[in-house]
Amino acid sequence: MVDKNDVAAVLELIRPSLQADGGDVQLVDVTEDGVVKVELQGACKGCPMSQLTLAHGVERILKERVPGVVSVVPADIEM
């Protein structure tokens, strides 16, 4: 099981780079099977590049630093 506190701590490390571009990320939930649900905010919300930000930025870093994370999805996606 993925520790939600560990995910939140890593998101705090990622947050400054998103904020530098006028965006932000908020942790919504972590499922028992390792899916992290986040809400992109600010300039990131609705940005055409947001899926790349999630996949190549947030997800990659979380997978590297938090054991058990399998994917990162927008909170508005039903799993």
pLDDT tens digits along 9-18: 999 999 998 8
Domains and CATH numbers, the chain: 4-74 (3.30.300.130)
Q: What is the pLDDT of residue 21?
A: 85
Find out whether 59 and 71 touch, Cβ atoms under 8 Å: yes
Q: What is the pLDDT of residue 63?
A: 96
Mean pLDDT computed over every residue of the chain: 89
Whether residue 79 is predicted with pLDDT greater than 60 in this model: the reply is no
Q: Both tokens of residue 55?
A: 């996949």
Q: What is the pLDDT of residue 46?
A: 79
Q: How far is the CA of 57 from the CAs of 4, 18, 31, 46, 48, in angstroms?
A: 18, 10, 20, 16, 15
Q: What percent of the chain has pLDDT over 90?
A: 62
Q: What is the pLDDT of residue 77?
A: 62
